[in-house]
Amino acid sequence: MVEGKVVVVTGAGGGIGRDIALAMAAHGAKVVVNDIGAALDGAGGSAGPAQQVVDEIRAGGGQAVPSTDSVADAASAARIVECAVESFGRIDAVVNNAGILRDRFFHKMSVDEWDSVLKVHLYGAYFTSRAAATHFKEQESGALVHMTSTSGLIGNFGQANYAAAKLGIVALSKSIALDMQKFNVRSNCIAPFAWSRMIGAIPTDTDEQRARVDKIKQMTPAKVAPLAVYLASDAAAAVNGQIFSVRNNEISLISQPRPVRSIHRSEGWTPQSIAEHAMPAMRASFFDLDRSADVFSWDPV
């Protein structure tokens, strides 16, 4: 599917990123395996995780090089893209997968906890995409695949920073898709459901919590990789500006934000008339939307 293409995968030292990197290589891509080797909260760093995945790809007959630069800094992110160009002569796709967590209830969240998560997820996706965009424009081809989350699409407790970043990535992806479509550059999002260290801290204190975690563990990172490979391939040339989710063996197309109900009043609205007429009519729509989320029982990742 991606024979001969050069693909950068960030956060590829483990979890979803690792499986995407391995799948890209298995389908013929030359891969830049980027990972700073940090802890889940972004602390520390090690070349080990990236090099291990590179060794695994090379052992299978594929081509790969490691990168330990951070996505959270513009110059560092640019070096990740340049690593691809210098190592393999070009760049064809970037998978923005790198991420950290600093979970905290909003009323207790510090500025650093907010800023650090946005720096890696949202700024990181921007920095790497922007660095690749110059090459994509010149060669009039390219694909960007961004990891979003149901934490942003639907919401989750204690993750205002992560949710804001992940929903911001959706808007970033849509804007890139619109701006660069004329250069045959595509940008799409995946909301993955998979067991990884990003959700490894889910409580398991009760039988209900343990059952939930056991169910999530069945959703392996490898299930996400085929869609990422497809979106990076020429077979997805007509797919742009979309949001997908992968949950075990199920792939879903996520709806774009749009009005679900509207009410017109020829004489205009007052706060009182909104309370007495508009909101009662809207409540049914509120209920349907809330219920649809419950029916899916989506666990944010």
**Residues that are catalytic:** 162
Count other C-beta atoms under 10 Å from residue 21's C-beta: 34
Residues facing residue 93 across a β-bridge: 7, 143
Greatest Cα pair distance, the chain, in angstroms, is 72
Q: How far is CA 206 from CA 83, 104, 216, 283, in A?
A: 47, 21, 15, 34
Find, among 74, 180, 50, 167, the residue nearest to 126 by Cα: 74
The encoded tokens of residue 8 equal: 């950068």
The encoded tokens of residue 178 equal: 């619109």
Which helix (H) or strand (E) segment holds residue 55: the answer is: helix 48-59
Q: Are 188 and 240 in contact (CB under 8 A)?
A: yes
Alpha-carbon dihedral sign for residues 154, 156, 160, 162: negative
The encoded tokens of residue 155 equal: 């919401």
111-118 vs 160-180: helix crossing angle, rounded to 10 = 30
Q: CA 167, CA 125: separation in Å to the nearest integer?
A: 12
* CA 42 to mean position of chain CA atoms: 17
